[in-house]
Structure 1
Amino acid sequence: MEIIKKIKNFKNETIGIKNHYSILIPLIKKNNEYFLLYELRSSTLKNQPSEISFPGGKVEENESYKECAIRETYEEIGVKKENINILNKGDDFYSPFGFLIHSYICTINTNDFKINKAEVEKLLFVPINHLKLQKPELYNVNIIAKPNLFPYNRIPNGKKYKWKKGTYNVYFYKYNKYYIWGLTAFFTKKLIEKL
């Protein structure tokens, strides 16, 4: 009975996730038109330098996904919590590379940005109508299992085992001279489809 009791008290989890990240998908209204706010990441960053992204980052210990997205937005562009109005939980994205990204759709009720130049080079305000009128380009990246020092003698068919293959969709939007691509374009596309 001890086993049954323990099983009944298990907390379920999604297996295979190394890290959780959270982002805000911010809308800003200017002159009766809505814009999505993006960041052009600093060229000196270790990860994804000079790419377009939404504000966000890695979830810290004892922090909710929503708290992370709000904290990261403040750290990156100086928007205080009281100027962020969460409208809804957005889509989540599970990466084949072992991370899960949580998103929150919000409005930002300020034009007072304090950009952290160590992380963000500049802000981009892209009209929602521009994105609605544009069909994003789609490219595919193949994901192939390639075992390294693997004990083939322990599995059926050994080295002839048929590993699963996958495809990773990569979208591109163009705005002026900038390309919004990858996961940022994926989240953009899902939002635009719902609108």
Structure 2
Amino acid sequence: MIDKIQSILADYQPDILGKQRKFAVLLPLIKVHDAYHVLYQVRAKHISQGGQTSFPGGSVEVDESFQEAALRETREELQLEAANIRLLGEIDYIVSEWAIVHCFVGEIIGIAYEDIVANEEVAYLFLVPLDTLVNLKPIHYDIEFETVQDDEFPLHLVSRDQSLPIHRRHTVSIYNLPNEELLWGFTANLTERFIQILQQDASFRKDTK
């Protein structure tokens, strides 16, 4: 029996447990007036999470890699050509109970910011100078979730005292930007992590002083 189990596990490819949907985004950098900026977009009201600030991106399609999805979605949403995106690399990704989000970093080239015309999924675009984000710290708020079960949940099978006091704490990052825009959620988390990665490099810290 144990040999059979070992044989089964030898050929098994571990994966994340759960039914998370896969998403990919691109953190776009663009040079404007000799300074690099991060490009953000506000989602149109008629799509999911309408009115929220995000990076270009979306769901990973079947037989598509995270990187391919990030580049495709960026081309579609910003109506760019493949030659307009120079891929620079990937940063840390997010895994939650419902989503896996990979974040790539790319430079928008061969087109001026004012000439970018986003598609109908985007309400408008805006820029934040990279130097501003380097010197701007987000505010962190802790929020707590409490589990609520419906009447059909077999509480007597999992709890002796007929209660299910499962509490989860989650930290939300919020950027109050100088242009009165807000960043929060995954977009703020990825922005903050990108800046942290850059600041780990001594030469980058010297260049931004």
**Cα shift readout 1:70-108 (whole Å, capped 9, x = no counterpart):** 010011011222221111111101124x11100001111
Following superposition, the deviation at residue 15 of structure 1 comes to 0.9
What residue is the counterpart of 1:18 in the other structure? 20
SS in 1 for 2:92: strand
Q: Is the 8 A contact 1:144 1:164 kept in 2?
A: yes
Q: Any idea what the Cα deviations from partners look like across 1:82-138, whole Å, max 9, x if unmatched?
A: 221111111101124x1110000111113242310x201221111011112212122
Contact 1:28/1:107 (<8 A) preserved: yes
Q: CA RMSD in A?
A: 1.8
Residue pairs, 1:39-118, within 5 angstroms? 39-45=41-47, 47-96=48-97, 98-111=98-111, 112-116=115-119, 118=120
Structure 1 residues 1-195: aligned runs within 5 Å: 1-45=3-47, 47-96=48-97, 98-111=98-111, 112-116=115-119, 118-148=120-150, 149-195=152-198
Question: Which is further off, 69-78 or 140-149?
Answer: 140-149
How far residue 145 of structure 1 moved from its aligned partner, in angstroms, is 2.0
Runs of 4+ residues over 4 Å off in structure 1: none
Question: How far apart are residue 185 of structure 1 and its match?
Answer: 1.0
Paired positions, count: 192
Does structure 2 conserve the Cα–Cα contact (< 8 Å) formed by 1:17 and 1:100?
Answer: no
CA distance in structure 1 between the partners assigned to 2:6 and 2:49 by the alignment: 46
- Give ranges in structure 2 of 5+ residues lacking alignment: 199-209
- Partner Cα distance (1:167, 1:88) in 2: 28
Separation in 2, partners of 1:159, 1:188: 42
Identity %: 29
Distance (Å, rounded) in 2 between the aligned partners of 1:95 and 1:138? 18
Q: CA deviation at 1:61?
A: 0.6
